[in-house]
Amino acid sequence: MTASTTVKLTGQELTRLSTLEVTVERGQQTFIEVGNALAEIRDSRLYRETHKTFASYCQERWDWSRPRAYQFIKAAEVANFIDDASATGLSTNVDISKPTSEGQVRPLASLDKEQQHAAWTKAHEIAEEENTPVTGEVVRRAVDEIKEPEPARKSLGVGLKYSNEAIAALGRIPPDDALRSQAMDDVISWIEFNR
């Protein structure tokens, strides 16, 4: 709308617009706030008065499976990084927006931080070229373009090496360690989230 065709809003309309814009802005941050809150509850073990594990807390308190809670946590971590990276000048000539949904950042979770930023930037380039919003599907396509395919044989060898190391490390956790179940929950959640 050009300046010559704008219509002045009444005081009541301005107030309502302001309220609605706050709601929209808040909605954009909700998944990040939820993920950050869950991470703090998990990391500080704030569930321990009523629940033995973070997983049981999430299931009983929020009716979320452990993988769903970890999706929020990982999505918040990725979104926080993307926001920080954009704020510190890692952006390119493409207009980079903040993530507005957990589904947008979920495809980025399997990448390292440098690749996350590159894929997020690539998603914006794709969306701009196609004149579409940055959706989870657009981000997934960008992730596919960013990932460097490894030969299957090399991946298998590296994958088995690291999985064996992880199993060995978990086996060294003493049964009476207060954080043993949390460590096991974290590993299982990571596996379920990254399948």
45 Rama class: left (phi>0) / alpha (psi -120 to 50) / beta = left
Q: What confidence score (pLDDT) does residue 40 get?
A: 93
Per-domain residue ranges of the chain: 12-193
193 Rama class: left (phi>0) / alpha (psi -120 to 50) / beta = alpha
Q: What confidence score (pLDDT) does residue 130 get?
A: 92
Q: What confidence score (pLDDT) does residue 28 get?
A: 53
Q: What confidence score (pLDDT) does residue 166 get?
A: 77
Q: What confidence score (pLDDT) does residue 171 get?
A: 75
- Cβ atoms within 10 Å of 193's Cβ, excluding its own: 19
Q: What confidence score (pLDDT) does residue 153 get?
A: 44
Q: What confidence score (pLDDT) does residue 150 get?
A: 53
Q: What confidence score (pLDDT) does residue 1 get?
A: 45
- Using alpha carbons, list the distances in angstroms from residue 23 to 7, 29, 72, 76, 99: 23, 10, 20, 19, 16
Which regions in the chain score pLDDT beneath 70?
A: 1-5, 21, 23-29, 85-95, 148-157, 195
